């Protein structure tokens, strides 16, 4: 790492998102920042990437000044395009967010914010994902401050191989934060609710909805921790293998 680190900032809420701007401003206090984000919101895209459709790179201006680059695709597309066609060399760190809404438990699988960070780690770049646990009345002040604190630590210490940190931060004042805990991905999951309606021609269409049901009861689990007003820092591995199941499956003697 150079004396002035280069930090790539991405998200899944799109280039206009307040959380992205707060994160970029905070990272500028650590080093040189490049922003590459989706031109439109791409929440819930997980690790999706665009195939069969051309991607377009654009620019975005804020207060009549260049702010960053846009990509007409998913968060993962943004990382791929940034590394292959926008940046001259690999950044020292990738930070993704700050997302609207938590990315805990099963939400981790759906998250484009986490997907962007995982893509960065696949490309051998230390990567972090940040989420604020609200969809309304968001205050990114403390979240951006904590993101900078953790980013500084990772720039100095590095991360375990093939691992990102997914960070969920309660939407409360800093004085009400009870602490920071290192957690595992919890078991909480969605109670699905698909709403059916008819368009003006009488054809049905559907809205996917639901409520995240708490199924955890320990501060070692991310969703429970944030509901107790703790910042949850969860190490997420690129390797999705269930290693505990390998021995059981090998006993099946599938070659016979």
* Domain assignment of residue 150, yes or no: yes
* 23 contacts 94 by C-beta, under 8 angstroms: no
- Per residue in 162-173, pLDDT (tens digit) is 999 999 999 999
- With 0-12 / 13-18 / 19 or more C-beta atoms within 10 angstroms meaning exposed / middle / buried, residue 173 is exposed
Q: Residue 169's domain is classified under what CATH number?
A: 3.40.1210.10
How far apart, in whole angstroms, are the C-alpha atoms of residue 126 and residue 128?
Answer: 7
* Domain assignment of residue 205, yes or no: no
pLDDT at 107 (0 to 100) = 87
* Domain assignment of residue 250, yes or no: no
Q: Which domain range does residue 131 map to?
A: 6-185+217-241
Q: What percent of the chain has pLDDT over 90?
A: 82
* Domain assignment of residue 145, yes or no: yes
Q: How many separate domains does the chain show?
A: 1
| pLDDT above 60 (res 1) | no
* Domain assignment of residue 200, yes or no: no
Q: Could you count the other beta carbons within 10 Å of the beta carbon of residue 40? A: 12
* Domain assignment of residue 199, yes or no: no
* Domain assignment of residue 197, yes or no: no
* Domain assignment of residue 195, yes or no: no
pLDDT at 206 (0 to 100) = 81
**Band of the pLDDT at 3, cuts 50, 70, 90?**
confident
**Kind and range of the H or E run holding 105:** none
* Residue 221: strand pairing partners: 184
Detail the residues annotated as belonging to a binding site for a divalent metal cation: 12-13, 43, 99
Detail the residues annotated as belonging to a binding site: 12-13, 43, 99
- Ramachandran sector of residue 13 (left: φ over 0; alpha: ψ -120 to 50; beta: rest): alpha
Q: What is the mean predicted confidence (pLDDT) over 200-213?
A: 79
């Amino acid at each position: 790492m150079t004396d002035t680190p280069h930090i790539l900032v991405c998200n899944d809420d799109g280039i206009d998102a307040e959380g992205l701007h707060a994160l970029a401003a905070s990272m500028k206090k650590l080093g040189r920042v490049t922003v590459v984000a989706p031109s439109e919101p791409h929440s819930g895209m997980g690790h999706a990437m665009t195939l069969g459709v051309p991607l377009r790179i654009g620019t975005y201006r804020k207060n009549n000044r260049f702010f960053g680059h846009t990509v007409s695709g998913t968060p993962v597309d943004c990382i791929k395009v940034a590394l292959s066609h926008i940046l001259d060399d690999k950044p020292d760190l990738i930070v993704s967010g700050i997302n609207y809404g938590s990315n805990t438990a099963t939400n981790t699988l759906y998250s484009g914010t986490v997907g962007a960070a995982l893509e960065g780690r696949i490309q051998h770049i230390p990567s972090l994902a940040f989420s604020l646990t609200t969809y309304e009345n968001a205050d990114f002040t403390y979240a951006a401050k904590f993101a900078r604190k953790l980013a500084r630590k990772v720039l100095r210490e590095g991360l375990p191989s093939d691992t990102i940190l997914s960070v969920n931060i309660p939407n409360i004042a800093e004085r009400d934060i009870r602490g920071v805990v290192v957690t595992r991905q919890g078991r909480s999951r969605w109670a699905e609710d698909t709403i059916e309606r008819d368009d003006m021609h009488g054809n049905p269409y559907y809205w996917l909805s639901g409520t995240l049901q708490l199924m955890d009861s320990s501060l070692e689990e991310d969703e429970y921790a944030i509901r107790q007003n703790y910042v949850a820092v969860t190490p997420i591995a690129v390797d999705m293998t269930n290693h505990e199941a390998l021995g059981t499956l090998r006993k099946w003697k599938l070659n016979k």
